């Protein structure tokens, strides 16, 4: 409560601002459902295409529905030459800045940009889901002086992303890991970037603008940027035996160990489970088990923090997996964004299903009724 009696909930912590049918989270026990389906079952048995259908259409597809949906996604992957030119012009920027710019530019080529009907938003969301990997990989190739690789319609969403990134067909296991990763990142309720998307949509703007807001908001290390920071930390640590001292030094100086803590989860983030095992096995398969050992040792140091509700989050193991797949550090967060486009789209559809301008208040604490003094009389 403030001095004037106004109740202030900084960071909107614990505030419910609307209802949603997309995502259920019980942070006290680490439970996450997409449209009522447990994230563990989806990660173990589903595919990114199927989860995207589930999120955007509201139910699991039949075989023929999924096939038509998947064909649509595959046929929407190419990006206009004009967007490739823009990517080329800004290729010196961080991949998230380039992705944000290119998604914004895509609106100029989208025939339905102004249509805010649910059907059009879903079609646009699918186009963005399909095209965003092409943006990220086109940028990666151009900044390395390589020609962009055209999408391969014979590969699924995850396989095609890895193919366009590296210019060679990925192994089945890598495609599967990428797919699980995209599933785990697809949606997460009213997180900061989804909320930003909703605020943008609430002004009756459009989906491209809302997704641009989502990308811009995801970029910060308190949200999606942590995977990159975790891997930088692991690289600085270098050897498993250095991990404990490194983390203690951060904590003793009041800092935060990246990849731990979550606004909603006060138990382990359920998404981390699916990446932990893969970080271990991939490290062993690539002859680099020390990354997983470094992460395990960091977890040991952070154990006392569990009593304060600080556990590993989804970003903790993700960075090591991307690294082991040969993906550069500064692309990690873009991968999160690629997975999250269906989630942002769903939030916009929900916002428009019962729209209200999102416009909270701040309590004014500055001076009042100041006399205006003209510039030549100020000293
Ligand atoms: N390491 C050490 N201490 C931590 C950590 C951490 N990673 N996270 C939180 N704490 C401590 C804070 O210092 C604070 O302590 P205090 O009460 O003594 O001041 C307390 O826990 C609460 O922290 P808040 O920042 O108030 O909690 P909030 O819910 O706002 O923070 C956040 C959540 C931002 C994710 C935080 O845990 C953090 O900064 N983590 C590191 C970055 C990270 O991993 N981000 C990815 C999040 S997952 C995602 O977005 C997909």
- Give the residue whose CA is nearest to atom 36 of ligand 1: 261
pLDDT band of 151, cuts 50, 70, 90:
very high
Which ligand 1 atom sits nearest the alpha carbon of residue 188? 51
Ligand 1 nearest-atom number relative to CA 222: 45
How much is the average pLDDT of 336-341? 98
Ligand 1 centroid to Cα of residue 276, in Å, is 20
Query: Atom 31, ligand 1: which residue's CA is nearest?
Result: 263
Tell me the average pLDDT of the chain: 96
Q: Which two tokens stand for residue 107?
A: 């609106």
Question: pLDDT at residue 1 above 80?
Answer: no
Gap between the Cα atoms of 332 and 320, Å rounded? 10
Closest protein CA for atom 23 of ligand 1: 261
Please, which pLDDT band fits residue 8 given cuts at 50, 70 and 90? Answer: very high
* Pairwise CA distance, residues 142 & 373, whole Å: 54
pTM: 0.94
Q: Which residue's CA is minimally distant from atom 27 of ligand 1?
A: 263
**Please, where are the H alpha helices in the chain?**
39-45, 48-57, 63-75, 81-89, 95-106, 118-143, 157-166, 172-185, 192-202, 207-218, 226-237, 243-252, 272-285, 290-302, 315-324, 332-353
Q: Could you tell me the distance, in angstroms and rounded to a whole number, from the CA of residue 309 to the centre of ligand 1? A: 10
Provide the pLDDT for residue 225.
85
Atom 3, ligand 1: which residue's CA is nearest? 256
User: H or E element: which one contains 25?
Assistant: strand 23-26
Catalytic residue among 139, 157, 262, 274: 262
Kindly tell me if the per-residue pLDDT of 222 is higher than 90.
no
Residue 322 near residue 231 (C-beta atoms within 8 A): yes
Per the annotation, the verdict on 274 as an active-site residue is: no
Number of the ligand 1 atom closest to the C-alpha atom of 223 = 50
How far is C-alpha 229 from the chain's CA centre? Answer: 14
Tokens at residue 18, please?
Answer: 């609307």
State the catalytic residue, choosing from 223, 290, 329, 330: 223
Which of 2-6, 23-27, 34-38, 188-192 has the lowest average pLDDT?
Answer: 2-6
Angle 172-185/272-285 helices, nearest 10 degrees?
160
139 is catalytic: no
Give residue-wise pLDDT tens across range 90-131. Answer: 999 999 999 999 999 999 999 999 999 999 999 999 999 999
> Which residues is 24 bridged to in the sheet?
33
DSSP 3-state assignment of 33? strand
R_g (Cα) of the chain, nearest Å = 22
Residue of 181, 188, 261, 319 best suited for mutating to test ligand 1, as the one with most atoms within 8 Å of CB: 261
Instruction: Tell me how far the alpha carbon of residue 261 lies from the centroid of ligand 1, in angstroms.
Output: 5
| pLDDT band at 3; cut points 50, 70, 90 | low
Q: Are 176 and 183 in contact (CB under 8 A)?
A: no
Helix (H) or strand (E) holding 37: strand 37-38
Give the whole-angstrom CA distance, residue 168 versus residue 361.
52
Residue 220: HSE in the Cβ half-sphere, 13 Å Cα cutoff = 10
Rounded (10°) CA dihedral 241, 245, 250, 254: 150
pLDDT digit string (tens) for 158-185? 999 999 999 999 999 999 999 999 999 9
Pull the structure tokens for residue 88.
């080329």
What's the gap in Å between 115 CA and the centre of ligand 1? 39
Residue 236, pLDDT > 80, answer: yes
Which three-class secondary structure state does DSSP give residue 114? Answer: coil
Tell me how far the alpha carbon of residue 265 lies from the centroid of ligand 1, in angstroms.
11
CA 49 from chain center: how many Å? Answer: 17
| Ligand 1 atom 34: residue of nearest CA | 222
For residues 261-297, one letter each, b for 16 or more C-beta atoms within 10 angstroms of the residue's C-beta and e for the rest, the string is bbebbbebbbbbbbbbebbbebbeeeeeebbbbbbeb
| Phi, psi (deg, nearest 5) at residue 120 | -70, -35
Instruction: Name every protein residue with a CB atom under 6 angstroms from any ligand 1 atom.
Output: 221-224, 226, 256-263, 310, 313-315
Q: Quick check: helix, strand or coil at residue 23? A: strand
Residue 291: C-alpha distances to residues 227, 269, 281, 311 (Å): 13, 20, 11, 19
Q: Ligand 1 centre and the CA of 222: distance in Å? A: 8
Q: Which of 165, 95, 80 is nearest to 334 (CA)?
A: 95
Beta-bridge partners for 31: 26
Instruction: Determine the atom of ligand 1 nearest the C-alpha atom of 264.
Output: 29
């Amino acid at each position: 409560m403030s001095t004037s009696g106004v109740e202030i909930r900084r960071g909107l912590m614990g505030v419910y601002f609307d209802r949603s049918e997309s995502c259920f989270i019980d942070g006290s026990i680490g439970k996450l459902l997409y449209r009522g389906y447990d994230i563990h079952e989806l990660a173990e048995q589903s595919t990114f295409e199927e989860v995207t259908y589930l999120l955007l259409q509201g139910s699991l597809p039949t075989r023929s529905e999924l096939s038509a949906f998947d064909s649509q996604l595959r046929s929407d992957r190419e990006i206009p030459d004009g967007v490739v030119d823009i990517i080329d012009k800004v290729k010196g920027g961080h991949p998230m800045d380039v992705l944000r710019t290119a998604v914004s530019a895509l609106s100029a080529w989208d025939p339905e940009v102004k249509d805010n009907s649910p059907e059009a938003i879903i079609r646009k969301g699918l186009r963005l889901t399909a095209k965003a990997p092409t943006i990220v990989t086109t940028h990666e190739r151009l900044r390395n002086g390589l020609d962009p690789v055209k999408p391969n319609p014979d590969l699924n969403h995850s396989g095609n992303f890895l193919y366009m990134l590296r210019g060679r067909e990925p192994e089945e296991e890598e495609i599967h890991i990428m797919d699980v990763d995209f599933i785990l990142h697809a949606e997460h309720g009213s997180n900061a970037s989804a909320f930003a998307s909703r605020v943008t949509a609430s002004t009756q703007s459009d989906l491209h603008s809302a997704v641009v807001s989502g990308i811009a908001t995801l970029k910060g290390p308190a949200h999606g940027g942590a995977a990159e920071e975790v891997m930088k930390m692991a690289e600085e640590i270098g050897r498993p035996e250095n991990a404990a001292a490194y983390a203690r030094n951060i904590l003793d100086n009041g800092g935060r160990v990246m990849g731990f803590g979550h606004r909603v989860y006060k138990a382990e983030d359920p998404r981390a489970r699916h990446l932990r095992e893969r970080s271990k096995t991939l490290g062993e398969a690539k002859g680099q088990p020390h990354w997983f050992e470094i992460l395990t040792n960091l977890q040991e140091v952070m154990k006392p923090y569990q009593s304060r509700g600080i556990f590993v989050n989804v970003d903790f193991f993700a960075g090591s997996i991307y690294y082991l797949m040969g993906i550069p550090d500064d692309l990690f967060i873009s991968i999160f964004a690629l997975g999250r486009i269906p989630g942002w789209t769903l939030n916009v559809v929900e916002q428009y299903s019962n729209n209200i301008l999102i416009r909270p208040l701040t309590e004014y604490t500055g001076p009042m009724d100041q006399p205006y003094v003209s510039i030549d009389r100020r000293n």
